[in-house]
Structure 1
Amino acid sequence: MKSLTTPRPLSAALRSTTASPSPAAGQERITSLLQRHGALAVLVAVVLVSSLVFPSFGTLDNAQNIAVQASFIAVVALGMTLVIITGGIDLSVGSVFALGGVLAAWASQYGLWAALLLPLAVCGAIGTLNGLLIARAGMAPFIVTLATLLGARGLLLALTHEGATTYLVPRGSAFAELGQGTVGGFGYPVLIALVLFAAGGVALQRTSFGQSLFAVGGSSDAATLMGLPVARTRILVYLLSGLLAGFAGALNAARLSSGVTILGVGMELDAIAAVVIGGTLLTGGAGSVSGTLWGVLLLAVIQNLINQIGSLNSSYQSVVSGGFLIVVVVAQRYLARARRT
């Protein structure tokens, strides 16, 4: 006997079989966006408000100044992002940054390539040492990089006779032009930093190496079972961190025309703060280089605002940066818990 049920139209059948997005999925999407792009939203809000309050803040000259000042810490923070994504930490970058500047200033008398290659070789060796001790010897990243922080600073003081000797970059040299030249009003260091971030973003999101970083940071045991080269990946990220810190120091020496020995103190903390504010989890397994860039710019804008106020000294930046860091870490824990539930 044939059924008397009236067949439903095809469009109605398709609507019934198509799963509508659940509220939980929408909430997870929102929390994920906040975690990844929260620093950008705060940066845009701060810039808009500051441009209204301080007329000189929104000028092109001020924007160029902020960009140049942020470019050096941005290069350091890029390497720190890769390290933290794997679940590690690198406390040596501040001392390596200063060491790279001194080596570059000394070698600049022999030309551009000597000024670049010497700091890259020495700072890359320090990063490789960090990676080998952490990946092969199984030592804690905090202890290893703290030791190389002290070692790099000691080598710096030895080269400069306890800071009494300051090596100068020859005026008008190609190396000096690398740090002081401009394109469209923005210094070469800004353009170099943007190129490095673009390359870092492509490597992190579009290559197997980048996916290995997330896998190692998420679970090194699972990554090992998947056949990923966990030890080699960790060695490479610390190598890159050392190279980028040394290169940033060389660029800074080119801009200042000298290797200043007192620079880099506390820079590792600023880099970590920028990375975490940008949405990279200290536990590893999640993060982005674009978020780090927004975090660096946010801290640079805060520093510039403190200078705009005039009645506050630069030490207040550390207070504000610490406050931002606490708020961001608490927010990340809340967002991560919301995504799990």
Structure 2
Amino acid sequence: MFTRLLILFFALAPLLTSAAVILQYHHVSENTPPSTSIAPAQFKMHMQYLKDNGFKVVPLNQIVDAIKHQQLMTNKWVAITFDDAYQDIVENGTPILEEFNYPYTMFINPGAVSKAGHLGWEEIKQLASNGVIIANHGLEHQSIARIPAHMDEKTWLEQQSKELLETEQLIKQHTGQSWHYFAYPYGEFTPKIQQWLRDHGFVGFSQQSGAAGISSDLSIIPRFPVSKPYDQLSSLRDKLNSLPLAITLEESNAQTIFEYGQSKSITFNIEVDDFLPSQLNCYISGLGRQKIKWLNEQQFSITYSNDLPIGRVRCNCTAPSISERGRFYWYSKPWFVLKEGGTWYPL
């Protein structure tokens, strides 16, 4: 494989390292839940870091369009996104963003508009008129992956289709925008839900880590969460310098929902040659570093060191780039592991 790498990577390097990073924030406050918050002072440090290190903050649609049209992305593209339209974003985050003249996107839930701690439609409309992209986060911030016990999947998705389109219509009515961008509430999805989103002409954004590239699946474009405890500049630096590790999953490997103890291993199909196989490392949340078995030049598998823990679980795989010294390829595979008996963990 290494001989083939030496032959190919010089020609392919511009394609392989065409990357953009999408940052995901929620609250900009010191008085909100830590796991979804960043302090205003720390948020300003993030923005200053982007400026000081030559990153170009672009509107989210610029990255989406590059993926759709298979256009190379300029090095150091970054997009800033917020979920849930909290009041503190405008109070504490927007002044900082305006100071740096950075565009951003806000994913909103119309059902929460004007409720305690959330923005009202007039404020959202003003943001839109100032160039902020307003996008779809579901009508009521309801996990689409959690089908109620009394409902079959077909009926559930029909109901979710109505809410998806109703939300998009409300956004258009109040802001004049309709991007058909959807951020999965709680980051939970399945392959069927991905297809459902494609069938409705939407682009999907997830919450698993990784850089975006021209090979990114438009139904699950990755975003890096950068709230506490992942808000330190050292962590931000690694994320901003990451490259998209192009991996595909087939059949059962693509599934995301398993009952505890049900899934024991996974096989990845890899489409990037710009790293040494011996330097690929994969870590599963709660289990640590995993042993990798290469099946051939394009496939590797992991047999988990223990059962996947209950809850939202990630397998993060990284490898240093040959052509871009100091930069790492990064891919994240999510699972949503149910309790024994098939009941969901708390949100």
Provide TM-score, normalisation by structure 2.
0.25
The structure richer in strand per residue is 2
Q: 1 or 2 for the larger relative contact order (CA 8 Å, sep ≥6)? A: 1
* Structure number with larger C-alpha Rg: 1
The structure richer in helix per residue is 1
Provide TM-score, normalisation by structure 1.
0.25
